Chain A
Amino acid sequence: MGLELDFSVVLDRWRSLLDGATLTLELAFIAVVCGAIIGVFGAIGRRGGNPLIERLCGAYVEGIRNTPLLVQIFLVYFGLSSLGLKFSAFTVAAVALTINVGAYTTEIMRAGFDSIVRGQIEAAEGLGLSKAQIYWHVIIWPGIERVYPALTSQFVLLMLASSVTSQISAEELTAVANYIQSETYRSFETYIVVALIYVALSFVMRFGFWLLGLALFPRRRRLGTPL
Protein backbone atom coordinates (compact mmCIF):
# COMPACT_ATOMS: atom_id res chain seq x y z
CA MET A 1 0.00 0.00 0.00
CA GLY A 2 1.66 3.16 -1.15
CA LEU A 3 -0.83 5.70 0.06
CA GLU A 4 1.61 8.57 0.03
CA LEU A 5 0.41 11.17 -2.37
CA ASP A 6 3.04 13.20 -4.11
CA PHE A 7 1.67 15.94 -6.28
CA SER A 8 5.00 17.64 -6.92
CA VAL A 9 6.05 15.45 -9.88
CA VAL A 10 2.73 16.22 -11.53
CA LEU A 11 2.76 19.91 -10.76
CA ASP A 12 6.33 20.15 -12.07
CA ARG A 13 4.87 19.53 -15.49
CA TRP A 14 2.58 22.53 -15.31
CA ARG A 15 3.77 23.66 -18.73
CA SER A 16 2.42 20.56 -20.48
CA LEU A 17 -0.77 20.76 -18.43
CA LEU A 18 -1.18 24.39 -19.45
CA ASP A 19 -0.62 23.48 -23.11
CA GLY A 20 -3.21 20.70 -22.81
CA ALA A 21 -5.73 22.99 -21.14
CA THR A 22 -5.17 25.61 -23.85
CA LEU A 23 -5.78 23.03 -26.54
CA THR A 24 -8.94 21.85 -24.78
CA LEU A 25 -10.26 25.42 -24.75
CA GLU A 26 -9.25 25.90 -28.40
CA LEU A 27 -11.13 22.74 -29.39
CA ALA A 28 -14.14 23.85 -27.40
CA PHE A 29 -14.03 27.33 -28.90
CA ILE A 30 -13.92 26.07 -32.49
CA ALA A 31 -16.69 23.54 -31.88
CA VAL A 32 -18.89 26.06 -30.06
CA VAL A 33 -18.59 28.70 -32.80
CA CYS A 34 -19.07 26.27 -35.70
CA GLY A 35 -21.71 24.32 -33.77
CA ALA A 36 -23.68 27.50 -33.10
CA ILE A 37 -23.68 28.30 -36.83
CA ILE A 38 -24.83 24.76 -37.65
CA GLY A 39 -27.43 25.09 -34.91
CA VAL A 40 -28.96 28.26 -36.39
CA PHE A 41 -29.19 26.77 -39.87
CA GLY A 42 -30.28 23.36 -38.58
CA ALA A 43 -33.05 24.91 -36.51
CA ILE A 44 -34.21 27.03 -39.46
CA GLY A 45 -34.11 23.90 -41.62
CA ARG A 46 -36.14 21.90 -39.09
CA ARG A 47 -38.97 24.40 -39.12
CA GLY A 48 -38.55 25.87 -42.60
CA GLY A 49 -41.44 24.07 -44.29
CA ASN A 50 -39.49 22.02 -46.82
CA PRO A 51 -40.27 18.37 -45.87
CA LEU A 52 -37.04 16.96 -47.33
CA ILE A 53 -34.80 19.43 -45.48
CA GLU A 54 -36.87 19.01 -42.33
CA ARG A 55 -36.38 15.26 -42.48
CA LEU A 56 -32.64 15.55 -43.20
CA CYS A 57 -32.10 17.90 -40.26
CA GLY A 58 -34.22 15.64 -38.06
CA ALA A 59 -32.17 12.58 -39.05
CA TYR A 60 -28.94 14.46 -38.27
CA VAL A 61 -30.17 15.49 -34.82
CA GLU A 62 -31.54 12.06 -33.89
CA GLY A 63 -28.57 10.20 -35.34
CA ILE A 64 -26.03 12.22 -33.38
CA ARG A 65 -27.99 12.45 -30.15
CA ASN A 66 -28.54 8.69 -29.96
CA THR A 67 -24.96 7.50 -30.57
CA PRO A 68 -21.87 7.94 -28.38
CA LEU A 69 -19.38 10.69 -29.12
CA LEU A 70 -16.53 8.17 -28.96
CA VAL A 71 -18.03 6.18 -31.84
CA GLN A 72 -18.65 9.40 -33.80
CA ILE A 73 -15.02 10.39 -33.35
CA PHE A 74 -13.82 7.01 -34.62
CA LEU A 75 -16.22 7.23 -37.57
CA VAL A 76 -14.92 10.67 -38.58
CA TYR A 77 -11.31 9.65 -37.97
CA PHE A 78 -11.43 6.42 -39.98
CA GLY A 79 -14.05 7.72 -42.41
CA LEU A 80 -11.85 10.61 -43.56
CA SER A 81 -8.78 8.42 -43.85
CA SER A 82 -10.67 5.76 -45.82
CA LEU A 83 -11.60 8.55 -48.25
CA GLY A 84 -7.88 9.11 -48.59
CA LEU A 85 -7.94 12.39 -46.70
CA LYS A 86 -5.16 12.84 -44.17
CA PHE A 87 -5.78 15.38 -41.41
CA SER A 88 -4.11 16.07 -38.11
CA ALA A 89 -5.69 14.62 -34.98
CA PHE A 90 -6.60 18.17 -33.93
CA THR A 91 -8.57 18.79 -37.14
CA VAL A 92 -10.38 15.46 -36.87
CA ALA A 93 -11.21 16.20 -33.22
CA ALA A 94 -12.53 19.66 -34.08
CA VAL A 95 -14.66 18.29 -36.93
CA ALA A 96 -16.12 15.47 -34.83
CA LEU A 97 -16.89 17.77 -31.88
CA THR A 98 -18.49 20.33 -34.21
CA ILE A 99 -20.73 17.69 -35.80
CA ASN A 100 -21.66 16.47 -32.33
CA VAL A 101 -22.46 19.78 -30.68
CA GLY A 102 -24.18 21.04 -33.83
CA ALA A 103 -26.95 18.47 -33.36
CA TYR A 104 -27.59 19.44 -29.73
CA THR A 105 -27.46 23.14 -30.61
CA THR A 106 -29.95 22.60 -33.44
CA GLU A 107 -32.42 21.02 -31.06
CA ILE A 108 -32.00 23.69 -28.36
CA MET A 109 -32.29 26.54 -30.87
CA ARG A 110 -35.34 24.97 -32.47
CA ALA A 111 -37.02 25.02 -29.07
CA GLY A 112 -36.06 28.70 -28.75
CA PHE A 113 -37.33 29.61 -32.21
CA ASP A 114 -40.57 27.67 -31.62
CA SER A 115 -41.17 29.69 -28.46
CA ILE A 116 -41.60 32.91 -30.43
CA VAL A 117 -45.33 33.61 -30.46
CA ARG A 118 -47.03 33.77 -33.84
CA GLY A 119 -48.24 37.33 -33.17
CA GLN A 120 -44.68 38.68 -33.03
CA ILE A 121 -43.96 37.33 -36.50
CA GLU A 122 -47.27 38.64 -37.84
CA ALA A 123 -46.51 42.05 -36.36
CA ALA A 124 -43.13 42.05 -38.10
CA GLU A 125 -44.81 41.07 -41.36
CA GLY A 126 -47.28 43.87 -40.84
CA LEU A 127 -44.36 46.29 -40.47
CA GLY A 128 -43.17 45.15 -43.88
CA LEU A 129 -39.93 43.46 -42.75
CA SER A 130 -38.36 41.05 -45.21
CA LYS A 131 -38.18 37.33 -44.44
CA ALA A 132 -34.47 37.60 -43.61
CA GLN A 133 -35.08 40.59 -41.35
CA ILE A 134 -37.88 38.77 -39.56
CA TYR A 135 -35.63 35.76 -38.98
CA TRP A 136 -32.75 37.87 -37.72
CA HIS A 137 -34.56 40.39 -35.53
CA VAL A 138 -37.68 38.54 -34.39
CA ILE A 139 -36.83 34.83 -34.41
CA ILE A 140 -33.09 34.17 -34.15
CA TRP A 141 -31.92 36.65 -31.50
CA PRO A 142 -34.98 36.57 -29.22
CA GLY A 143 -35.06 32.76 -29.64
CA ILE A 144 -31.41 32.39 -28.65
CA GLU A 145 -31.95 34.76 -25.73
CA ARG A 146 -34.59 32.44 -24.29
CA VAL A 147 -32.54 29.26 -24.54
CA TYR A 148 -29.20 30.91 -23.70
CA PRO A 149 -28.79 29.10 -20.33
CA ALA A 150 -29.48 25.67 -21.88
CA LEU A 151 -27.16 26.50 -24.75
CA THR A 152 -24.27 27.47 -22.50
CA SER A 153 -24.66 24.34 -20.32
CA GLN A 154 -24.45 22.30 -23.49
CA PHE A 155 -21.26 24.12 -24.47
CA VAL A 156 -19.66 23.43 -21.07
CA LEU A 157 -20.61 19.75 -21.45
CA LEU A 158 -18.96 19.82 -24.87
CA MET A 159 -15.73 21.16 -23.38
CA LEU A 160 -15.74 18.26 -20.90
CA ALA A 161 -16.61 15.80 -23.66
CA SER A 162 -13.62 16.98 -25.70
CA SER A 163 -11.57 14.80 -23.31
CA VAL A 164 -12.73 11.86 -25.43
CA THR A 165 -10.64 13.09 -28.36
CA SER A 166 -7.59 11.94 -26.39
CA GLN A 167 -8.50 8.53 -27.83
CA ILE A 168 -7.38 9.62 -31.30
CA SER A 169 -4.38 11.32 -29.66
CA ALA A 170 -5.38 14.92 -30.02
CA GLU A 171 -2.97 16.51 -27.54
CA GLU A 172 -5.57 18.05 -25.24
CA LEU A 173 -5.66 17.95 -21.45
CA THR A 174 -6.65 14.30 -20.98
CA ALA A 175 -4.05 13.12 -23.49
CA VAL A 176 -1.43 15.15 -21.61
CA ALA A 177 -2.62 13.48 -18.41
CA ASN A 178 -2.25 10.03 -19.94
CA TYR A 179 1.25 10.94 -21.01
CA ILE A 180 2.25 12.31 -17.61
CA GLN A 181 0.89 9.31 -15.72
CA SER A 182 2.71 6.88 -18.00
CA GLU A 183 5.95 8.74 -17.38
CA THR A 184 5.67 9.40 -13.65
CA TYR A 185 3.58 6.38 -12.55
CA ARG A 186 1.60 8.86 -10.46
CA SER A 187 -1.80 8.10 -12.00
CA PHE A 188 -3.90 8.98 -8.97
CA GLU A 189 -2.30 12.37 -8.44
CA THR A 190 -2.25 13.14 -12.17
CA TYR A 191 -5.93 12.50 -12.70
CA ILE A 192 -6.92 14.37 -9.55
CA VAL A 193 -4.99 17.42 -10.70
CA VAL A 194 -6.49 17.14 -14.17
CA ALA A 195 -10.01 16.72 -12.80
CA LEU A 196 -9.55 19.92 -10.81
CA ILE A 197 -8.27 21.72 -13.91
CA TYR A 198 -11.42 20.65 -15.73
CA VAL A 199 -13.57 21.91 -12.86
CA ALA A 200 -11.72 25.24 -13.09
CA LEU A 201 -12.18 25.34 -16.87
CA SER A 202 -15.93 24.77 -16.46
CA PHE A 203 -16.11 27.67 -14.01
CA VAL A 204 -14.15 29.90 -16.38
CA MET A 205 -16.43 28.97 -19.27
CA ARG A 206 -19.61 29.53 -17.27
CA PHE A 207 -18.35 32.92 -16.12
CA GLY A 208 -17.35 33.83 -19.68
CA PHE A 209 -20.78 32.89 -21.00
CA TRP A 210 -22.42 34.87 -18.22
CA LEU A 211 -20.44 37.97 -19.23
CA LEU A 212 -21.17 37.33 -22.91
CA GLY A 213 -24.85 37.01 -22.06
CA LEU A 214 -24.80 40.40 -20.33
CA ALA A 215 -23.23 41.95 -23.42
CA LEU A 216 -25.45 40.19 -25.96
CA PHE A 217 -28.79 40.51 -24.24
CA PRO A 218 -29.06 43.89 -22.51
CA ARG A 219 -32.83 43.46 -22.22
CA ARG A 220 -32.31 40.41 -20.08
CA ARG A 221 -29.91 42.34 -17.87
CA ARG A 222 -32.41 45.16 -17.45
CA LEU A 223 -35.40 43.01 -16.57
CA GLY A 224 -33.58 40.19 -14.82
CA THR A 225 -35.76 37.68 -16.66
CA PRO A 226 -35.67 36.23 -20.13
CA LEU A 227 -38.46 37.71 -22.18
Chain B
Amino acid sequence: MGGALNVNHLLFLGHGALWTIGLSVIALVGGGLAGFLVALGRVSPSRTVRLLAATYVQLIQGTPLLVIMFLSFFGLAAIGFNISPLAAAGASMTIFVAAYLGEIWRGCIEAVPRPQWEAAEGLALSRSQRMVKVILPQAIRIATPPTVGFMVQIIKNTSLASVVGFVELTRSGQIINNSMFEPFLIYSIIAVVYFSLCYPLSRLSRRLERTALQKKPALA
Protein backbone atom coordinates (compact mmCIF):
# COMPACT_ATOMS: atom_id res chain seq x y z
CA MET B 1 0.00 0.00 0.00
CA GLY B 2 2.99 2.38 -0.46
CA GLY B 3 2.99 5.75 -2.21
CA ALA B 4 0.67 8.64 -1.58
CA LEU B 5 -2.51 8.44 0.41
CA ASN B 6 -5.17 6.92 -1.86
CA VAL B 7 -8.70 5.57 -1.77
CA ASN B 8 -7.53 2.15 -0.54
CA HIS B 9 -5.88 3.75 2.46
CA LEU B 10 -9.04 5.63 3.26
CA LEU B 11 -11.12 2.46 2.89
CA PHE B 12 -8.74 0.70 5.26
CA LEU B 13 -9.10 3.54 7.76
CA GLY B 14 -12.87 3.36 7.34
CA HIS B 15 -12.74 -0.34 8.12
CA GLY B 16 -10.73 0.46 11.25
CA ALA B 17 -13.27 3.11 12.23
CA LEU B 18 -16.05 0.53 11.94
CA TRP B 19 -14.14 -1.74 14.34
CA THR B 20 -13.67 1.19 16.71
CA ILE B 21 -17.45 1.58 16.73
CA GLY B 22 -17.91 -2.19 17.02
CA LEU B 23 -15.57 -2.48 19.98
CA SER B 24 -17.24 0.53 21.60
CA VAL B 25 -20.62 -1.18 21.29
CA ILE B 26 -19.21 -4.42 22.76
CA ALA B 27 -17.69 -2.42 25.62
CA LEU B 28 -20.90 -0.48 26.24
CA VAL B 29 -23.14 -3.56 26.23
CA GLY B 30 -20.78 -5.84 28.17
CA GLY B 31 -19.58 -3.13 30.51
CA GLY B 32 -23.12 -1.84 30.92
CA LEU B 33 -24.47 -5.22 32.02
CA ALA B 34 -21.54 -5.86 34.37
CA GLY B 35 -21.64 -2.24 35.55
CA PHE B 36 -25.31 -2.61 36.44
CA LEU B 37 -24.39 -5.53 38.69
CA VAL B 38 -21.55 -3.49 40.21
CA ALA B 39 -23.93 -0.60 40.91
CA LEU B 40 -26.47 -2.93 42.54
CA GLY B 41 -23.64 -4.53 44.50
CA ARG B 42 -22.51 -1.16 45.79
CA VAL B 43 -25.96 -0.42 47.27
CA SER B 44 -26.65 -4.02 48.33
CA PRO B 45 -27.98 -4.68 51.84
CA SER B 46 -25.27 -7.32 52.27
CA ARG B 47 -22.04 -5.97 53.67
CA THR B 48 -19.93 -8.64 51.93
CA VAL B 49 -21.39 -7.84 48.52
CA ARG B 50 -20.84 -4.12 49.08
CA LEU B 51 -17.23 -4.76 50.06
CA LEU B 52 -16.59 -7.01 47.05
CA ALA B 53 -18.06 -4.46 44.63
CA ALA B 54 -16.11 -1.62 46.24
CA THR B 55 -12.85 -3.59 46.03
CA TYR B 56 -13.46 -4.32 42.35
CA VAL B 57 -14.07 -0.64 41.64
CA GLN B 58 -11.00 0.48 43.63
CA LEU B 59 -8.72 -2.03 41.92
CA ILE B 60 -9.88 -1.32 38.37
CA GLN B 61 -10.06 2.45 38.82
CA GLY B 62 -6.52 2.36 40.18
CA THR B 63 -5.11 0.44 37.21
CA PRO B 64 -4.47 1.88 33.74
CA LEU B 65 -6.59 0.34 30.98
CA LEU B 66 -3.39 -0.27 29.05
CA VAL B 67 -2.11 -2.60 31.78
CA ILE B 68 -5.47 -4.43 31.83
CA MET B 69 -5.10 -4.88 28.05
CA PHE B 70 -1.60 -6.31 28.43
CA LEU B 71 -2.70 -8.50 31.30
CA SER B 72 -5.54 -10.07 29.37
CA PHE B 73 -3.64 -10.49 26.11
CA PHE B 74 -0.02 -11.32 26.98
CA GLY B 75 -0.72 -12.34 30.54
CA LEU B 76 -3.38 -14.92 29.75
CA ALA B 77 -1.30 -16.24 26.84
CA ALA B 78 1.65 -16.74 29.17
CA ILE B 79 -0.39 -18.93 31.52
CA GLY B 80 -1.76 -20.98 28.65
CA PHE B 81 -4.94 -19.23 27.50
CA ASN B 82 -4.51 -18.05 23.95
CA ILE B 83 -7.15 -15.48 23.21
CA SER B 84 -7.65 -13.36 20.12
CA PRO B 85 -6.98 -9.60 20.14
CA LEU B 86 -10.73 -9.03 19.79
CA ALA B 87 -11.52 -11.17 22.84
CA ALA B 88 -8.72 -9.56 24.87
CA ALA B 89 -9.76 -6.04 23.89
CA GLY B 90 -13.45 -6.77 24.44
CA ALA B 91 -12.83 -8.35 27.84
CA SER B 92 -10.50 -5.55 28.98
CA MET B 93 -12.91 -2.84 27.89
CA THR B 94 -15.79 -4.63 29.61
CA ILE B 95 -13.86 -4.94 32.88
CA PHE B 96 -12.82 -1.29 32.66
CA VAL B 97 -16.22 0.14 31.68
CA ALA B 98 -18.02 -1.91 34.36
CA ALA B 99 -16.00 -0.25 37.13
CA TYR B 100 -16.61 3.29 35.92
CA LEU B 101 -20.25 2.90 34.82
CA GLY B 102 -20.98 0.98 38.02
CA GLU B 103 -19.71 3.89 40.06
CA ILE B 104 -21.60 6.46 37.94
CA TRP B 105 -24.82 4.49 38.24
CA ARG B 106 -24.41 3.97 41.97
CA GLY B 107 -24.35 7.75 42.27
CA CYS B 108 -27.54 7.94 40.21
CA ILE B 109 -29.33 5.32 42.32
CA GLU B 110 -28.34 7.19 45.47
CA ALA B 111 -29.47 10.47 43.91
CA VAL B 112 -33.08 9.28 43.89
CA PRO B 113 -34.62 11.29 46.73
CA ARG B 114 -34.72 9.43 50.04
CA PRO B 115 -38.51 9.89 50.56
CA GLN B 116 -39.07 7.80 47.41
CA TRP B 117 -37.44 4.82 49.16
CA GLU B 118 -39.42 5.45 52.31
CA ALA B 119 -42.72 5.84 50.44
CA ALA B 120 -42.09 2.57 48.60
CA GLU B 121 -41.32 0.92 51.91
CA GLY B 122 -44.48 2.38 53.35
CA LEU B 123 -46.45 0.76 50.52
CA ALA B 124 -45.03 -2.57 51.73
CA LEU B 125 -43.13 -3.26 48.52
CA SER B 126 -40.34 -5.81 48.78
CA ARG B 127 -36.75 -4.64 48.25
CA SER B 128 -36.64 -5.88 44.66
CA GLN B 129 -40.05 -4.36 43.91
CA ARG B 130 -38.88 -1.06 45.35
CA MET B 131 -35.78 -1.21 43.16
CA VAL B 132 -37.50 -2.20 39.93
CA LYS B 133 -40.73 -0.22 40.20
CA VAL B 134 -39.74 2.92 42.08
CA ILE B 135 -36.01 3.59 42.20
CA LEU B 136 -34.59 2.36 38.88
CA PRO B 137 -37.05 4.19 36.61
CA GLN B 138 -36.04 7.45 38.27
CA ALA B 139 -32.36 6.53 38.45
CA ILE B 140 -32.29 5.80 34.72
CA ARG B 141 -33.51 9.30 33.97
CA ILE B 142 -30.76 10.78 36.16
CA ALA B 143 -28.18 8.41 34.65
CA THR B 144 -28.77 9.20 30.99
CA PRO B 145 -26.60 12.36 30.59
CA PRO B 146 -23.49 11.02 32.39
CA THR B 147 -23.79 7.68 30.58
CA VAL B 148 -23.86 9.38 27.19
CA GLY B 149 -20.87 11.45 28.34
CA PHE B 150 -19.01 8.31 29.36
CA MET B 151 -19.54 6.83 25.89
CA VAL B 152 -17.02 9.41 24.70
CA GLN B 153 -14.46 7.89 27.10
CA ILE B 154 -15.31 4.42 25.80
CA ILE B 155 -14.74 5.39 22.16
CA LYS B 156 -11.47 7.16 22.95
CA ASN B 157 -10.20 4.29 25.07
CA THR B 158 -10.77 1.69 22.35
CA SER B 159 -7.66 3.25 20.77
CA LEU B 160 -5.64 1.33 23.38
CA ALA B 161 -6.78 -1.96 21.82
CA SER B 162 -4.21 -1.15 19.12
CA VAL B 163 -1.43 -2.27 21.50
CA VAL B 164 -2.63 -5.88 21.43
CA GLY B 165 -2.81 -5.78 17.65
CA PHE B 166 -6.54 -5.30 17.33
CA VAL B 167 -7.05 -3.45 14.04
CA GLU B 168 -9.29 -0.56 15.00
CA LEU B 169 -8.86 3.02 13.83
CA THR B 170 -5.54 3.81 15.53
CA ARG B 171 -3.96 0.47 14.60
CA SER B 172 -5.06 0.77 10.96
CA GLY B 173 -3.44 4.21 10.91
CA GLN B 174 -0.21 2.73 12.29
CA ILE B 175 -0.26 0.04 9.60
CA ILE B 176 -0.72 2.59 6.82
CA ASN B 177 1.98 4.75 8.36
CA ASN B 178 4.44 1.85 8.33
CA SER B 179 4.18 1.70 4.56
CA MET B 180 4.17 5.39 3.66
CA PHE B 181 5.59 7.24 6.67
CA GLU B 182 3.40 10.32 6.74
CA PRO B 183 2.67 10.13 10.48
CA PHE B 184 1.53 13.71 10.99
CA LEU B 185 -0.98 13.57 8.15
CA ILE B 186 -2.31 10.13 9.08
CA TYR B 187 -2.68 10.80 12.79
CA SER B 188 -4.35 14.12 12.02
CA ILE B 189 -6.93 12.29 9.88
CA ILE B 190 -7.43 9.77 12.67
CA ALA B 191 -7.85 12.52 15.24
CA VAL B 192 -10.51 14.12 13.04
CA VAL B 193 -12.38 10.81 12.74
CA TYR B 194 -12.33 10.29 16.52
CA PHE B 195 -13.47 13.85 16.99
CA SER B 196 -16.41 13.42 14.65
CA LEU B 197 -17.44 10.27 16.51
CA CYS B 198 -17.09 11.81 19.98
CA TYR B 199 -18.10 15.44 19.61
CA PRO B 200 -21.79 14.81 18.81
CA LEU B 201 -22.00 12.59 21.92
CA SER B 202 -20.38 15.31 24.04
CA ARG B 203 -22.89 17.84 22.76
CA LEU B 204 -25.80 15.47 23.31
CA SER B 205 -24.66 14.74 26.86
CA ARG B 206 -24.44 18.44 27.65
CA ARG B 207 -27.88 19.12 26.16
CA LEU B 208 -29.42 16.26 28.17
CA GLU B 209 -27.78 17.61 31.30
CA ARG B 210 -29.24 21.05 30.74
CA THR B 211 -32.78 19.76 30.19
CA ALA B 212 -32.43 17.50 33.23
CA LEU B 213 -31.53 20.53 35.32
CA GLN B 214 -34.56 22.44 34.09
CA LYS B 215 -36.94 19.58 34.86
CA LYS B 216 -35.80 19.10 38.42
CA PRO B 217 -38.34 16.98 40.31
CA ALA B 218 -40.44 18.89 42.82
CA LEU B 219 -39.51 16.40 45.50
CA ALA B 220 -35.79 16.76 46.07
Query: How far does the Cβ of A30 sit from chain B's closest Cβ, in whole Å?
Result: 18
Whether the pair A198, B67 counts as a contact (CB closer than 8 A) is yes
**For the complex, is A48 an interface residue (Cβ under 8 Å from B)?**
no
**For the complex, is B129 an interface residue (Cβ under 8 Å from A)?**
no
User: Which of A62, A68, A177: most chain B CB closer than 10 A?
Assistant: A68
Chain B's closest residue to A70 (CB) is: B159
* CA gap between A92 and B55 in the complex, in Å: 35
* CA gap between A135 and B29 in the complex, in Å: 45
* CA gap between A186 and B74 in the complex, in Å: 9
Q: Contacts A74-B187, A199-B58 known; A160 to B63 CB distance under 8 Å?
A: yes
Whether the pair A70, B78 counts as a contact (CB closer than 8 A) is no
List the A side residues contacting B74 at CB < 8 Å: 181, 187-188, 191
List the A side residues contacting B71 at CB < 8 Å: 187-188, 191-192, 195
List the A side residues contacting B64 at CB < 8 Å: 160-161, 163-164, 174, 198
List the A side residues contacting B162 at CB < 8 Å: 70
**For the complex, is A65 an interface residue (Cβ under 8 Å from B)?**
yes
List the A side residues contacting B184 at CB < 8 Å: 75, 78-79, 82
The interface bits of chain A over 179-203 (1 if a CB of B lies within 8 angstroms of the residue's CB, else 0) are 0010001111011101100111111
* CA gap between A77 and B113 in the complex, in Å: 49
Whether the pair B62, A71 counts as a contact (CB closer than 8 A) is no
Chain B's closest residue to A63 (CB) is: B195
The interface bits of chain B over 53-96 (1 if a CB of A lies within 8 angstroms of the residue's CB, else 0) are 00000110111111110110011111110000000000000000
14 A-B Cβ contacts within 8 A? A2-B78, A2-B80, A66-B195, A68-B160, A70-B159, A79-B184, A160-B63, A163-B64, A164-B160, A185-B78, A187-B77, A188-B79, A190-B75, A194-B67
Interchain residue pairs A-B with the least CB separation, the first 10:
A199-B62, A78-B183, A68-B159, A66-B198, A188-B75, A163-B64, A187-B74, A187-B78, A202-B62, A191-B71
